[in-house]
Amino acid sequence: MFNVNPPLVRMIATLPVLALGYQADWSSYVNDIYDRPERLLSREVLRLNGTRSYWLLTVARWTCLPFTLLGMWICWRWAGELYGDHAAVLAAILWCFSPNILGHGHLMTPDIPGASIGIAAFYVFRHWLINPTWQWAFVSGIVFGQAQATKSSWVILFAMWPLLWLFWRICCRCGENSQPLLRELKQMAVILAVGVWSINMWYGFAGTFTALGEYRFLSTTLGGFRDGLGPAVRYRFENTYLAHIPVPFPSDYVQGIDRQKYHFELPDWSYLRGEWRDRGWWHYYVYAAFVKEPLGYWVLGAMAVALGAFSAYRARWRDELLLLIPLILLVVFISSQRGFNRHLRYILPAYPFAFILISRVARSISRRNWGVSAAMAACTAWGVVSSLLVYPHPLSYFNEFAGGALNGRYHLLSSNTDWGQDLLYLKSWIDAHPEASPLYLAWDAPHVDPELAGIELPRVPQSPTPGWHAISVNQLHANYGDYEYFLKRTPVATAGYSILIYQLSEDDCDSELWQ
């Protein structure tokens, strides 16, 4: 149903739910290329399971925690191999205390699993480059396939890995004879073939080898030019010489990439620093990472760049390029999708590459450069403390430059601030404040009924009304401006950092402030 991303994470997360049992109504399901059936069905699943949905979500999320641990372990291991034991510890700390890793690491989205399996794939690929045996080629292919089955962004590996191999071998070992290169070329083909087989395993080979001409495409990238903004299915390859070529991927994998691309091609409302517009910004993800990662991390990054000028702090240059090239390509590739910008999480697969490169700063300890070591320790502690000060609300984290978690809404919205994570905190606040009446709610998670948390409140009126008003920051700053008048007021309380609570008196509603 939700084929815009591959199924590995959701299939694993579903296992405990299947074991515990759940209620669902599939009668509304329609297999339509235009439709997003998971949205309606998700409401039905939550409605039918009621408050038990929280327990089902909890146990499902537990199964996603090993992905986060995998990412930490690979950062620790790879940084240790390049820069030493101290760097391994620093890389692990950067991963474990990043508020974005903490905030997304337990969710059933593909972002952290995609980051973890992606960096694991590159780690294994590096070992094949160093020791090109058939065993390492087969393992690389398996992990390559798991990355593809986790997040569709990794489709770029089909081009990136062969090019990185050519760079590694031809540019760095051009004096060798051609026989090893020919053998490695065969192994590279095996890596890609095993990877494709691994992807198909997760889909049960459904629709594999469907002829290209039979595919209906929505995006202009695959479907060709489209008049207007609405969807128009096109059999672009139906009457071409390519029509009968069998596509070695599952049909849902191909259609999912097309559907995802289609969504990014359509202009949609995006928000950045108080500005709404119907397309994204090329610098959105870089800016989002700047305000949503601790400033201590950014200072460490600047130190790592500066210390890269000294050979004592560098690994072999091709080892570092194996980290730097994917980092840059991921940021450029994701930033180029500018139909809309909403979610920093799309850029998370680039994080482990950055953390490993930053960890070179820790070489200052073994080099006995105590000035750099002291600065590194101070910046690391700054970043860790800054992150933990908002715990357990890491999704709402914004650094000191952005004014902290309560002011992050002036920079970014959507999942960067409010993804419905504070509903139960709102319930606790309501129970602790029975005097808050009448109480209204402006909620921003349309697929989740607040009644699941025992909250039954009328919607906040669109004009100033006496009483208490709990408003999601996404609703408060929405482009339609229904609650813009609250921006002139100071909230009297908060539920987490994503739901602001205001109290209006009769005099407040008559005040000239609303004019």
SS3 of 412, please?
coil
SS3 67: helix
Q: H-helix or E-strand containing 469? A: strand 467-472
Rounded to the nearest integer, the mean pLDDT of the chain is 91
- Average pLDDT of span 42-49: 90
pLDDT at res. 514: 55
The larger pLDDT score, comparing residue 170 to residue 193, is at 193
247 SS3 class: strand
Query: Which range, of 163-177, 235-249, 498-512, averages the lowest pLDDT?
Result: 163-177
Name the one residue in this structure whose structure tokens are 């998370």.
Answer: 348
Query: Whose CA is closest to 380, among 42, 163, 89, 175?
Result: 89
In 177-240, alpha helices (H): 178-203, 220-223
Is 492 or 175 the better-scoring residue by pLDDT? 492
What pLDDT digit, counting tens, does each position of 205-240 carry? 999 999 998 888 888 878 776 555 555 666 778 888
Q: Using CA atoms in the order 501, 506, 512, 515, what is the torsion angle rounded to 10 degrees?
A: 70
Which of 96, 153, 160 has the alpha carbon at shortest distance from 347? 153
- pLDDT tens, residue by residue, 261-318: 887 887 788 999 999 998 889 999 999 999 999 999 999 999 999 999 999 999 998 8
What are the two backbone dihedrals, phi and then psi, of residue 438, each rounded to the nearest 5 degrees? Answer: -70, 150
Q: Is the pLDDT of residue 177 over 80?
A: no
- Distance between terminal CA atoms of the chain? 47
136-167 confidence digits (pLDDT tens): 999 999 999 999 999 998 999 999 999 999 98
Quick one: pLDDT at residue 279?
A: 87
pTM strictly above 0.85 = yes
**Alpha-carbon 134 to chain mean position:** 33
- Cα atoms in the Cβ-side hemisphere of radius 13 Å centred on 149: 25
**pLDDT tens-digit profile of 49-85?**
999 999 999 999 999 999 999 999 999 999 999 999 9
- Please determine, for residue 175, whether its predicted confidence score (pLDDT) is greater than 50: no
CA distances from 251 to 198, 210, 214, 231 (A): 15, 7, 10, 19
Q: HSE of 38 in the Cβ direction (CA atoms, 13 Å)? A: 6
Q: What pairing do the DSSP bridges indicate for beta strands 270-272 and 210-211?
A: unpaired
Q: How many CB atoms lie within 10 A of CB 290?
A: 16
Q: Which two tokens stand for residue 104?
A: 């997304």
List residues bridging with 328 in a β-sheet.
none
Residue 5 to residue 469: CA distance in whole angstroms? 37
Share of residues in the chain with pLDDT > 90 (%): 72
Residue 211 pairs in a beta bridge with 246
Average pLDDT on 173-187 reads: 71
Nearest CA to 469 out of 513, 508, 417 is that of 508
How many Å apart are CA 477 and CA 414, to the nearest integer?
A: 10
Three-state SS at 246? strand
Half-sphere exposure of residue 349, counting CA atoms within 13 Å on the CB side?
31
pLDDT band at 385 (very low <50, low <70, confident <90, very high): very high
* pLDDT tens, position by position, 102-112: 999 999 999 99
Q: Which among 363, 356, 288 has a CA at the least distance from the CA of 319? A: 356
CB 150 within 8 A of CB 66: no
Q: How far apart are CA 483 and CA 466, in angstroms?
A: 14
From the number of C-beta atoms within 10 Å of its C-beta (0-12, 13-18, 19+), residue 275 rates as exposed
- pLDDT of res. 80: 97
CA distances from 15 to 9, 54, 57, 146, 156 (A): 10, 16, 12, 18, 29
What does the pLDDT read at residue 512? Answer: 54
Predicted confidence at residue 230, as pLDDT, reads 54
Helices (H), 35-108: 37-49, 52-62, 65-83, 85-97, 99-104
| Gap between the Cα atoms of 207 and 394, Å rounded | 40
Give SS3 for 499. strand
Beta carbons of 117 and 143 less than 8 angstroms apart: yes
Residue 42 in this model has a pLDDT that exceeds 70: yes
Which tokens belong to 359?
Answer: 């960890």
Surface-to-core class of residue 74, CB atoms within 10 Å of its CB (0-12 exposed, 13-18 middle, 19+ buried): buried
Say if residues 120 and 75 touch (Cβ distance below 8 Å).
no
Q: Return the higher-pLDDT residue of 221 and 395.
A: 395
Mean pLDDT value of segment 322-348: 92
CA 290/CA 284 separation, integer angstroms: 10
Burial grade of 244 (CB within 10 A; 0-12, 13-18, 19 or more):
exposed
Could you tell me how many residues make up the chain? 515
SS3 257: helix
Closest CA to 169 of 155, 142, 157, 187: 187
